[in-house]
Amino acid sequence: MSAAAIQPYALLDDQECEERIIRAREKLGDRLVILGHHYQRDEVFRHADFTGDSLKLSRQAANSKAEYIVFCGVHFMAEVADILTRPDQVSILPDMAAGCSMADMADLQHVEKAWQELSEVLNPDEQITPVTYINSAANLKAFCGEHGGIVCTSTNARHVLEWSFSQRDKVLFFPDQHLGRNTGFNMDIPLEQMVVWDYDKPMGGLTPEAIEQARIILWKGFCSVHQMFQSEQIDNFKQKYPETKIIAHPESPFEVCQKSDYVGSTEYIINTIAEGEPGSRWLVATELNLVNRLHDMHKDEGTNVHFMSPNVCMCSTMFRIDPQHLAWVLENLVEGEVVNRIVVPEKEAEMARLALSRMLEVSP
């Protein structure tokens, strides 16, 4: 479908899109399920049948009777949905430009090059377990499947690393260095035994000695939203509100997580604040749409929920999914046209499922 095909929708205001989305949903009935990631804008989030983190949403879609799975998220999420859902289900991403800058920091070409360079120092297939965060392309999940590796989420990263070390002595962790470092440190792995692989430098910018001594080799990747949080922001806020509880997503830098009272996944953040004392105050290190939603949910209890950074930074790729794209996709489905379908090649999907199944087996 050409860019021109959606052009008329770009001229619609949000209210008209809202009405057209509702009408299209009614016509499609239970043939359709819309998935909404927590970081989506409210104008889209409100239309979701299921909301949550990416893996949870894909599994819910797979258990549904729906023929069409419209994922309001980013590209790797729609890939996971295609991998985990049935052959008769169709995975759709409303805007194909909705990617993930962190996922893009680790591509198959660079990971295979790193694996080859590591073989000059070690035997990777015998000494290193490759672990990819679910925020990665399907072909990297397949790479892990082929090389005895595994996928992790921010919820189960510790269990996945424990399994990985039971298989081999070392871990290559990509694409998010912060999740790997924060998880490893909480497992009592010293910082000096976690080195960063810079994929733009020969041998990752590391000496053979550093590679041999490392337990976790961290890919030089990060989330652009969570990277912006700084420990000084916590200090400055607590000078004004010393009673504040600090809660951070583990994609945040090490120093931020060390100063936080709670560290956990998006679902963990949501549940922890919900279970907090009415009237409490929270400073939150995660995406702005979610923080604003939490603020609105709990303000009637007198609970104050604040975004950690003084600078506003939304996930620009998540923000690409707008009511105009959603209306376009749904109205095409009403007419029997599938636009923006996401299809993972079967061999790749098979290896990715293997890595995902290992994760599900070791997760609590």
What is the reported pLDDT for 313? 58
Q: List the CATH number of the domain containing 241.
A: 3.40.50.10800
Does residue 44 carry a pLDDT above 90? yes
Which of 35-49, 121-135, 164-178, 236-250 shows the lowest mean pLDDT across its residues? 35-49
- Please, how many CA atoms are within 13 Å of residue 19, restricted to the half-sphere of its CB? 4
Does residue 3 carry a pLDDT above 60? no
Tell me 341's DSSP state. Answer: B
* Domain shared by 233 and 215, yes or no: no
* Domain shared by 326 and 244, yes or no: no
Q: Are 241 and 305 in contact (CB under 8 A)?
A: no
| Mean pLDDT, residues 10-39 taken together | 95
Tell me 324's DSSP state. Answer: H
| Mean pLDDT, residues 111-131 taken together | 97
Q: Is residue 360 assigned to a domain?
A: no
* Domain shared by 92 and 109, yes or no: no
Tokens 């009592």 belong to 188
Q: Is residue 52 assigned to a domain?
A: yes
Other Cβ atoms less than 10 A from the Cβ of 25: the count is 18
Helix (H, G, I), strand (E, B) or coil at 216: strand
Helix (H, G, I), strand (E, B) or coil at 70: strand
* Domain shared by 117 and 41, yes or no: no
Tokens 């549904």 belong to 64
Distance CA 11, CA 6 (A): 9
Q: Which of 341, 134, 308, 347 is nearest to 225 (CA)?
A: 308
Q: Is residue 7 assigned to a domain?
A: yes
Distance CA 149, CA 176 (A): 16
What is the reported pLDDT for 319? 65
Q: Is residue 349 assigned to a domain?
A: no
The more confident residue out of 310 and 71 is 71
- Domain count of the fold of the chain: 3
The more confident residue out of 318 and 162 is 162
* Domain shared by 107 and 220, yes or no: yes
Q: List the CATH number of the domain containing 175.
A: 3.40.50
pLDDT in tens, 185-234: 999 999 999 999 999 999 999 999 999 999 999 999 998 888 899 999 99
C-alpha angle 246-72-355 in degrees, rounded to nearest 5 = 80
Distances (CA, A) of 101 to 92, 104, 109, 316, 327: 20, 5, 16, 9, 25
* Domain shared by 326 and 297, yes or no: no
Q: Is residue 242 assigned to a domain?
A: yes
* Domain shared by 107 and 217, yes or no: yes
Strands 216-219 and 170-174, bridge-based pairing: parallel
Q: Given 207, 224, 241, which residue is the final one in a domain? A: 224
Show the DSSP H helices in the chain as ranges. 3-10, 14-28, 42-45, 54-62, 75-84, 101-104, 108-118, 124-127, 138-146, 157-167, 177-186, 208-213, 231-240, 254-259, 266-274, 288-298, 323-334, 346-362
* Domain shared by 123 and 195, yes or no: yes
* Domain shared by 132 and 216, yes or no: yes
Q: Are 68 and 32 in contact (CB under 8 A)?
A: yes
What is the extent of the structural domain holding 199?
103-224
Does residue 2 carry a pLDDT above 50? no
Distance CA 307, CA 252 (A): 13
pLDDT in tens, 220-276: 999 888 889 999 999 999 999 999 999 999 999 999 999 999 999 999 999 999 999
* Domain shared by 94 and 124, yes or no: no
Mean of pLDDT over the chain = 94
* Domain shared by 8 and 62, yes or no: yes
Distance CA 176, CA 108 (A): 15
* Domain shared by 197 and 137, yes or no: yes
Q: Is residue 358 assigned to a domain?
A: no
Q: Given 307, 329, 358, which residue is the final one in a domain? A: 307
Q: Is residue 351 assigned to a domain?
A: no
Q: Is residue 124 assigned to a domain?
A: yes
